[in-house]
Structures are given as C-alpha cells and as structure tokens.
Amino acid sequence: MGIPNPRTQEFAPAPEGMVRIVAWRQQTPGSNDPDIAELHAERAALLHWWANAHGVDVTDWGATDGSRHAEFVELQAVAEAVLTAALTALATGYVTRFFEKKKAKEAKEAGGDQQAAGTPPPDVRPLLALTVVNESGGTVVVLDPTRSGDVAATIDQVTTTPTTKGWTLIG
C-alpha cells in the first residue's frame, strides 16, 4: 500500500460549524523506520503548541497523540475567525520553520556540510502538509507555503464559508 497523496485524497465533510484539519507527515520511509515514531511525536507537539498558542478550539484530536504512527492525523476544530488566522500562521510560519529545521538536520546528517547554508537538499520533502475540509467538503491543501500565492484568502474562504466546494491547492 502506497503513501496517500494530499493532492488526490478525499475526506468526509466536516460536521456543521466545524472544520477538519488534516496534518500530513509527508515522509516515505518504511513503517519500521525508527524515525517515524519521532516524526509522529514532533508533529503532535507542533499541533498542540499551535492550538494552545492561538486559542483554537479543537474538539477532537483524532490520532494525533496515538501511540501508533500515521501518515496523516485529523483534528476537528470549531470554524471561527480565530481559526482562519491560526491556520494561516501554521501554514505560512510555523510549518515553514518546521520544514527548514528538519531539512537542515537531515542535510547535516547526510554530510551536507558542503552545501550552501540554508539550502535544503533537493530530495527532502516537507515534513508536514495541511488539508482543511469544511462542512460541504470544500478543501484547501497547503503543501508548501513558501511557493504559494495568497494562503490567508484561500484558507479564509474554506473556513468561513461552509458552502464553499471544490479543491484549492496551494504550493
């Protein structure tokens, strides 16, 4: 069984007044890889910190804190204005810094000392991608916010207008 692709994976619509937030690990090592459990724990820590820092009302953490690692975990949060700002911050700030930290660590471990500072190795994929699903099934996928257009406007459309339908891909 292959790794699910955020560009094609479909999720059930969120319950009324809620938004489903799916955090993708976006790594492809085998399930026996010892780093997988660490990546799962790091993602959980980032998501809890983010929700607390922005006052996001998460009503269901899904498998975020599960002992079994997963390629993606789903959170369920109340769709309100604070969520739009928080998701934008997660997609454009925290996730980007999270990507950079992991890429730098992997480059160093791979002997990337010869690489220019701040230049990630070309084969490193983002550690965390986000999918946001509203109650009509409208979805925005944030894969790499460093290459995106207006992340805030797209996230706002999906989180504040529950009847928005269709997919929007950022990055």
* Proportion of the chain above pLDDT 70, given as a percent: 75
- Decide which of 142 and 55 is more confident: 55
What is the spatial distance between Cα 93 and Cα 146, in angstroms, rounded to a whole number?
9
The token duo for 44 is: 């959980």
89, with CB counted inside 10 A (0-12, 13-18, 19+), is middle
What is the spatial distance between Cα 151 and Cα 123, in angstroms, rounded to a whole number?
24
| Tens digit of each residue's pLDDT (9 = 90 or more) over 96-129 | 666 677 677 777 777 755 444 444 444 444 557 8
DSSP for 35-82 reads HHHHHHHHHHHHHHHHHHHHT--EEE-TTTT-SS--SEEEEEEE-SHH
Work out the pLDDT band at 20, boundaries 50, 70, 90: very high
To which residue do tokens 């724990």 refer?
41
pTM of the model: 0.76
The token duo for 49 is: 């910190």
pLDDT of residue 121: 41
What is the spatial distance between Cα 104 and Cα 135, in angstroms, rounded to a whole number?
38
Helices (runs of H) and strands (runs of E) counted in the chain: 4, 6
To which residue do tokens 């390629």 refer?
71
